[in-house]
Amino acid sequence: MFFVKKMIMALLGRGFFYPVSVSAVENIGEDFCVVEMHGEALKKVSWNPGEKMKIRIGKRRERSYTPLLVDRDEGKAKFVIYLHHKGPGSNWASNLKIGDACYLSESRKSLSFTPSEEGCIFFGDETTIGVAYALKSAQKNTGSFTFVFEVSSLSSAQQVLERLNMKNSKLVLKNKENSHLVDVQKILSQEISKGINPQLVLMGNSQSMIKIRNGLISLGFPTSQCKMKSYWSSR
Ligand SMILES: Cc1cc2nc3c(=O)[nH]c(=O)nc-3n(C[C@H](O)[C@H](O)[C@H](O)COP(=O)(O)OP(=O)(O)OC[C@H]3O[C@@H](n4cnc5c(N)ncnc54)[C@H](O)[C@@H]3O)c2cc1C
């Protein structure tokens, strides 16, 4: 009895996944792919830009990804996936083909953020290009976005950002010692000083986000203006 209850709770905890199929795969260089999925359930899904979905990448495995867009009329969702080549999610995405069956979860809140008129300075990495695009596309009467990404390859990131019409983003090349974060902090400080009370969003790698946040706090930036959401962490 206890075992059955545990199984049901585990299933409920993992939530409901509905079937979709891959309708397009666009490989952008070696490090990114844009994947389009279609399914009847996507015609009814409730999704707000910036929210994530979980995708089944194997029998008992799922990973979080952020739709670039969800088109309920067409029952379609699109994702940009970073192929870091170090994990099952990345390997799953690099082998996707048109017609492959997939399972998506309901949309779930990820970053609690409402763009303001004062504008937003966004720091992230390759995994956050999708959420950056979704937030930018949703911006209507609010202030502008400035995007700063730390990346492992400038040329790969430029390619995908150009494809998504975000080529004005600022890129900083990562290094093993993380000394590039000094440059990131300089850029962010300059951008902050240009605006009046801008919001700051830090996303992506948790270690980078924490270093940047601590650096900016030591320069007097108010934590109340800073939203954070970790997408992955270096192990
Ligand atoms: C809410 C949310 C939304 C997300 N949206 C997106 C999205 O839209 N697009 C996207 O590409 N990713 C997105 N991610 C990040 C993605 O889920 C993680 O990168 C995840 O770890 C990938 O799973 P994996 O199986 O490839 O690697 P894992 O099995 O999780 O990790 C395997 C190894 O790879 C390393 N690793 C994981 N991610 C990276 C990375 N980015 N760079 C270098 N090494 C890495 C880990 O440290 C570990 O050593 C999102 C994450 C969250 C939490």
Are 57 and 130 found together in one domain? no
Taking only the tens place, the pLDDT of each residue in 7-44 is 554 454 457 899 999 999 999 999 999 999 999 999 99
Strands 17-28 and 101-105: antiparallel
Ligand 1 site-directed mutation target among 86, 126, 209, most atoms within 8 Å of CB: 86
Using CA positions, which residue lies closest to atom 44 of ligand 1? 84
Q: What domain count does the chain have?
A: 2
What integer pLDDT is reported at residue 54 of this predicted model?
Answer: 97
Q: Which residues does ligand 1 sit against, CB inside 6 Å?
A: 52, 63-66, 79-82, 84, 86-90, 110, 126-127, 130, 231-232, 234-235
HEC secondary structure over 170-194: EEEECCCCCCHHHHHHHHHHHHHHH
Instruction: Give me ligand 1 centre to Cα 64, in Å.
Output: 8
Same domain, 124 and 228: yes
Per-residue pLDDT of the chain (235 residues; tens, 9 = 90+): 444 544 554 454 457 899 999 999 999 999 999 999 999 999 999 999 999 999 999 888 999 999 999 999 999 999 999 999 999 999 999 999 999 999 999 999 888 777 777 789 999 999 999 999 999 998 876 678 999 999 999 999 999 999 999 999 999 999 999 999 999 999 999 999 988 878 899 999 999 999 999 999 998 888 888 999 999 999 7
The region that residue 164 occupies, defined by phi over 0 for left and psi between -120 and 50 for alpha, beta otherwise, is alpha
Residue 220 falls within a domain, yes or no?
Answer: yes
Q: How far is the CA of 61 from the centre of ligand 1 (A)?
A: 13
Please give the residue range of the domain that contains residue 60.
Answer: 17-105
Q: Shortest CA distance to 135 belongs to which of 229, 12, 1?
A: 229
User: How many angstroms separate the alpha carbon of residue 229 from the centre of ligand 1?
Assistant: 13
Q: 142 C-alpha to center of ligand 1: Å? A: 30
145 shares its domain with 220: yes
Which pLDDT does position 14 carry in this prediction? Answer: 58
The neighbour count for residue 151, using CB atoms within 10 Å, is 23
Rounded to whole angstroms, the Cα distance separating 195 from 165 reads 23
Pairing of strands 120-124, 199-205: parallel
Given CA atoms 39, 43, 49, 50 in this order, what sign does their dihedral have?
negative
CA–CA dist 213, 226 (Å, integer): 8
- Assigned domain for 110 exists: no
Within-domain flag for 205 = yes
Does residue 1 belong to any structural domain of this protein?
no
Instruction: Verify that 152 and 80 share a domain, yes or no.
Output: no
120 C-alpha vs ligand 1 centroid, how far in Å?
A: 24
137 with 223, same domain: the answer is yes
How far the first Cα of the chain sits from its last, in Å, is: 38
Same domain, 175 and 151: yes
Residue type, 159: Q
